[in-house]
Amino acid sequence: MQTNSQLIDLFLEQLWLLEGLSDNTRAAYQTDLTQYAGWLQQQGQSLLQARRDDLLEYLGWRLQQGYKASSSARLLSALRRFYQQALEQGQITEDPSALVDMPKTRRNLPDTLTEADVDALLEAPDVDEALGLRDRCMLEVLYATGLRVSELTGLKLDEISLRQGVVRVMGKGSKERLVPMGEQALDWLERYLARGRPLLLGGKASDVVFPSQRGQQMTRQTFWHRIKQHAQTAGIIKPLSPHTLRHAFATHLLNHGADLRVVQMLLGHSDLSTTQIYTHVAQMRLQALHAEHHPRG
C-alpha cells in the first residue's frame, strides 16, 4: 500500500504531465496536501481513508488557527483534484471533497494607475543612460503587453519578433501565448537593442533581452526596486506593486472598450473570473467620475 507521501508525489507528477503545472502551484499543492496528510495521520487516518467529516473538521481547525480563507480554498482545490484522480483510478469509491463548499474569499481590487500616471512613470527614466534606456523600454513593453514581471525579466531574444511586433511568452503552467507590442513599445525596443543593451552586456554573450548592470538576468526584486525609484521621480504617491503596470494594461484596455475575453487571452489567465476583477475597477472609476462631474452626482 502506498504511503501518503508517495500518493502525493504521484498525483503531482501526473498533474504536471497532464496540465503542465507551474512550479509555484506544484510547491503550494505539495505543502497543502502534506499538511493535511500529517493532520490525518494524527487522527489515525490516511488520505485514501479520509471522509467528508474529516475534511470539514480539518477546515474548521485551520480557521481556528488563523489560516486565510484563500489558503484553505487552495487546499480544497488541490484535494478535489487529488480525490477526483483517485476516484478515476479506482483507489476510492467516494470523493470526500465533493460536497464541501469552497471557503469564501474576498478579492481585493488591484490599485491601478491613471493614464496620466502611466505617462509620467514612462517618462521618468533617464534615457541618455544605458540603464535608463533599458528601464524605459521595460516599462513600455510591460504596459503595452501586460506581461507578468517574471515573464518580462525572463524574456529571451528569440521570444521577440521585431518584424511582427509580438512577444512570445511562456506563462504559468507552461502555456504559450503571443502578445502584440504596439508601435511605441516596438520603437523603444529597437532603440534599446541598438544602443542600450550592448553597453550593459559589455561584450558578454547573452540571450536575455533585459540584462542587469552586470550582464545577467535581472531579478524581479531588482526591477521592482527600479519601478519604485521611477515612481518616486514621477511624483506618484499611490501604493504600487510589481504588477502595477499589468493592472493598468488590463484596466485601460477595458476602459477603452476591449472585449473581456481578449484581455483574458492577452493576460494569460486560464479562468475568466480572474480577469473579471478588472471590470469592477473600470466600473468603480466610471461611478466616481459620474459622482464628481454630474450636476446631480
Q: Known catalytic residues?
A: 148, 172, 243, 246, 269, 278
Contact 7, 47 (CB under 8 A): yes
| The three cell numbers locating residue 117 | 500616471
Integer CA distances (angstroms), 279 to 110, 275, 282, in order: 11, 8, 5
Reduced to 3 states (helix: H, G, I; strand: E, B; else coil), residue 96 is coil
Q: Is 276 exposed, middle or buried (0-12, 13-18, 19+ CB in 10 A)?
A: middle
Cα–Cα distance, 279 to 281 (Å, whole number): 5
Q: Is 197 exposed, middle or buried (0-12, 13-18, 19+ CB in 10 A)?
A: buried
Other Cβ atoms within 10 Å of 140 Cβ, number: 22
H-helix or E-strand spanning residue 161: strand 160-161
- Terminal-to-terminal C-alpha distance of the chain: 68
Instruction: Show Cβ contacts of residue 161 under 8 Å, excluding neighbours closer than 6 positions.
Output: 167, 168
Reduced to 3 states (helix: H, G, I; strand: E, B; else coil), residue 146 is coil
CA dihedral of residues 206, 211, 213, 219 (deg, nearest 10) = -130
